[in-house]
Amino acid sequence: DTAVSQTPKYLVTQMGNDKSIKCEQNLGHDTMYWYKQDSKKFLKIMFSYNNKELIINETVPNRFSPKSPDKAHLNLHINSLELGDSAVYFCASSQVGNRDTQYFGPGTRLTVL
């Protein structure tokens, strides 16, 4: 009965490839986020979507493209992967009226070789 789920859990790929990470939440929340956690555990927001509309778009390379087909899903597509993209990517969600409590998924560990 996972609240925020991500697939895959681990992703190992070569430089230059294109990959996607999927996120789904079954909490009925209206806002979803993508975060990147680097090797030093530094966690930084990348994007947020509210009701399928892009709200936050940090200074992320345009090789990263989030897609929200509906309120319950926020996928992250990455083109032309680079070594520096290796990190753990977390999806999160929150609800209007309680935005300060974000629920995080278990993370996807991306390794670019």
Partner 1 sequence: AQSVTQLDSQVPVFEEAPVELRCNYSSSVSVYLFWYVQYPNQGLQLLLKYLSGSTLVKGINGFEAEFNKSQTSFHLRKPSVHISDTAEYFCAVRASYNTDKLIFGTGTRLQVFP
**CA distance linking residue 23 with residue 52, whole number of Å:** 13
Helices (H), ranges, 1-113: none
* Count of other CB atoms within 10 angstroms of residue 45: 16
Smaller CB separation from partner 1, 96 or 113: 96
Distance from chain centroid for Cα 14: 20
Stretch that binds partner 1, among 14-22, 68-76, 77-85, 101-109 (CB under 8 A): 101-109
Query: Contacts with partner 1 in 34-93 (CB under 8 A)?
Result: 40-45, 48, 50, 55-56, 90, 92
The number of residues that bind partner 1 (CB under 8 A) is 25
Query: Which residues contribute to the site for partner 1 (CB under 8 A)?
Result: 4, 31, 33, 40-45, 48, 50, 55-56, 90, 92, 94, 99-107
